[in-house]
Structure 1
Amino acid sequence: MPNRYPLRLWIVRHGESSGNVARDAAHAAGAARIDIPERDVDVPLSPLGHRQADAIGRWFADMPESARPELVLASPYRRAVQTAEAIRAEGGLVPGAPRLIEDERLREKEFGILDRLTRAGIEQHHPEQAELRRDLGKFYHRPPGGESWCDVILRLRSALDTLALHHGGRRVLIVGHQVVVLCLRYLLENLTEAEILAIDAEGDVANSSVTEYAFSPDLGPDGGLSLIRYNFVAPLEAEGAPITAEPDTNAAAK
C-alpha cells in the first residue's frame, strides 16, 4: 500500500508572541487598537515564548532518534519560524534533518480591515462587520481584504496534498498558528463546522502546545491519521515554562 500519509504528524502552535502580550495590554486598557509596530508577519516571540519553544524542543529531543521528526514545515511568520528553529537548536529533529521548509499556506489567518483591532475596536470602527460576523459566524465570515476559516481551509487542503505527495511515510512536524491547528483538525478528522467550532469554544490552543497524529492502516482503504493528543502542554509544565493560551493578535476576528 503506498503511504499517502505521514507516519507521524505533529502540529505545534508557535510560542507566545509579543503580539499576544500587546493584545492582552489592549484589552486590559479597553483600547480599540492593538499597539504592534511590526507587520503581523514580523511579530517575534516574547521572552516567555522563547522559553516555551525551547521547552518543546527539549521534549522532542528526549525521544529516541528513531521517533523524532525527520523534517519541519512552518508558517513563514517570524514567531513560527523562531519556534521551529528553537526545536531544531534543542536537538528535537533527527540528525541531518533538511533545512526548515517555510510554506506560506501555513500562515496566520488574514484579518483585512480588522487587522489590529480589538473586539471593542471592531464594534467602534466597523459595526457592520461585527453584525455580519454575528450573522454568518466565524467559519464563513470574510472581512474585506481578509479571510474566513473556509479560506484558510482551502489553502491547507493544498498543503496536505503536497505533504502526501512529498512526505508520505515520514515523521513530519508543522509549526503554525491557532486557526491553522484547528483547521487542520477539521480536515484530518473530517469534522463538520459545528464540531470544529465546538472544539474551538472549549478553549484556545495553547502556545507551544502539541497536537499529534499517527498513521493507522485501519482508517479506510488507504489508512489515515488517528489523533493521539490535542493541545498537549505537559512538556511545558515539566520544564516549568508558564502556559499561555492567548488567541492570536486579532482575537476579535479569530
Structure 2
Amino acid sequence: MIETLYITRHGFRSSWTTGDRSNRDDPLSDLGLTQAQDLATYLGSLEDNKRPTAIFSSPYHRCLQTSRAISIALEIPIYVDHWISEWYSDLTANKRVKQPEPPSADVLHGEFPEIDADAWSSLWYPPSHGENVAQITERMGTFLAKFIPAVETTFAPEKHERVLLVTHAAPVIALVRNLLHENEAESKTYCKPGCCSVTEFERNPDPEASLTWLPKRIGDSTHVSGDVREWGFEDYY
C-alpha cells in the first residue's frame, strides 16, 4: 500500500534561459540539471524508510531529466505516465499553439534507459485541445483515483510504499487541491511550486477521517539552488 506521496516539479527549463519558447518539450538548462541533482542529493539524504522507491514521471524531457538524476542517485526505476503530462491551457489552445505529443515509454527508453517500459504503461493520455483550470483539476483527481489502486495492484503491496511523481507546475497544484479536497473557488492552500520543490503527503491512519492524505509540506524548495521560478494559475490568467 502506498503510504507516502512525494510530488515534485521539474528543474529550470532551457527556454527560460534562451527566451525561445518554440520547443514546448524543451530540456533542462544547466541550472535545471543542477537543481535536479540538488533534489536527488536531498532525497538520498533521507532515512531509508523515508526515501521514495519508485518514480512516476511525465514523459516530457525536462521531467525525465529530473527523474534520471534521482533514479541514478537512489537506484530506483522510472515509470512513465502521460496522465501527469504538462497542462495545455485553453488560452494557449485558442492561439493554435501545437502541443507536443511525447512518445511512449518504449521509445523514450532508448534515450532514458532508467525507464522500465515493461512494468508500467500510461493509464491515460491528456487531451490535446487544451484544458481550463477546472479540467486539469478534474484530470488529476481522476488520475489519483485510478493511479493509487493501480500501483498497489500492479506491484507487490509492500514494494512501493513511497512513490515520487515528477510533473509540471499546473498538475502539482491540481494534485494538491484534490488531495486536500479543495477546488479553485474554495482553495485556501498556498501552492506555487518552484523547480524541484518537494510536496509530501502521508496516508491518514484514521480510515474514517475526511482526508485520506495529510500534507506534511507543500512546495518546499529549501534544498534547491538558484532561481526556482515559482508558478501559480494566477500568474497565467
| 1:174 Cα deviation after fit | 0.2
* Other-structure match for 1:29: none
In structure 2, relative to structure 1, the CA distance for the partners of 1:89 and 1:115 (3 Å cut) is farther
What is the CA–CA distance in structure 2 between the aligned matches of 1:229 and 1:16, rounded to whole Å?
21
What is the CA–CA distance in structure 2 between the aligned matches of 1:7 and 1:167, rounded to whole Å?
12
- Give the number of the structure whose alpha-carbon radius of gyration is greater: 1
What is the CA–CA distance in structure 2 between the aligned matches of 1:186 and 1:108, rounded to whole Å?
17
In structure 2, relative to structure 1, the CA distance for the partners of 1:211 and 1:146 (3 Å cut) is same
Instruction: Point out where structure 1 has 5 or more consecutive residues left out of the alignment.
Output: 26-34, 117-143
Return the structure number with greater helix share. Answer: 1
Identity %: 25
Q: Which one-letter code corresponds to 1:150 in the other structure? A: A
* Other-structure match for 1:36: 21
2:93 pairs with 1:112: yes
**Which secondary structure state, in structure 2, belongs to the residue aligned with residue 229 of structure 1?**
strand
2:171 pairs with 1:180: yes
What is the CA–CA distance in structure 2 between the aligned matches of 1:54 and 1:193, rounded to whole Å?
33
Instruction: Point out where structure 2 has 5 or more consecutive residues left out of the alignment.
Output: 98-127
* Other-structure match for 1:8: 4
Q: Deviations over 1:223-253 (max 9, x none)?
A: 71100001101212xxxx21321549x9964
| 1:85 Cα deviation after fit | 0.9
**Which secondary structure state, in structure 2, belongs to the residue aligned with residue 234 of structure 1?**
coil
| 1:191 Cα deviation after fit | 0.7
Q: Note the aligned Cα RMSD (angstroms).
A: 2.7
In structure 2, relative to structure 1, the CA distance for the partners of 1:191 and 1:251 (3 Å cut) is closer
Q: Which structure 2 residues correspond to residues 120-199 of structure 1 after superposition, within 5 A?
A: 145-168=129-152, 170-196=161-187, 199=190
**Which secondary structure state, in structure 2, belongs to the residue aligned with residue 194 of structure 1?**
coil
Q: TM-score under structure 2 normalisation? A: 0.73
1:209 to 191, 197, 217: 197
> How many residues are paired up?
197
What is the CA–CA distance in structure 2 between the aligned matches of 1:60 and 1:153, rounded to whole Å?
27
2:221 pairs with 1:233: yes
Q: Which one-letter code corresponds to 1:152 in the other structure? A: I
In structure 2, relative to structure 1, the CA distance for the partners of 1:186 and 1:252 (3 Å cut) is closer
Q: Is 2:221–2:228's contact at 8 Å kept on the other side of the alignment?
A: no
2:48 to 54, 65, 71: 65
Q: Deviations over 1:150-201 (max 9, x none)?
A: 221222223212322133461110011111111001100001323437735x
1:84 to 47, 63, 67: 67
Q: Is 1:11–1:173's contact at 8 Å kept on the other side of the alignment?
A: yes
Q: Which one-letter code corresponds to 1:36 in the other structure? A: R
What is the CA–CA distance in structure 2 between the aligned matches of 1:164 and 1:74, rounded to whole Å?
14
What is the CA–CA distance in structure 2 between the aligned matches of 1:243 and 1:232, rounded to whole Å?
14
Q: Is 1:73–1:103's contact at 8 Å kept on the other side of the alignment?
A: yes
**Which secondary structure state, in structure 2, belongs to the residue aligned with residue 212 of structure 1?**
strand
In structure 2, relative to structure 1, the CA distance for the partners of 1:227 and 1:246 (3 Å cut) is closer
In structure 2, relative to structure 1, the CA distance for the partners of 1:68 and 1:115 (3 Å cut) is farther
Q: TM-score under structure 1 normalisation? A: 0.69
Q: Is 1:20–1:246's contact at 8 Å kept on the other side of the alignment?
A: no
Q: Which one-letter code corresponds to 1:154 in the other structure? A: E
Q: Which one-letter code corresponds to 1:108 in the other structure? A: E
* Other-structure match for 1:245: 229
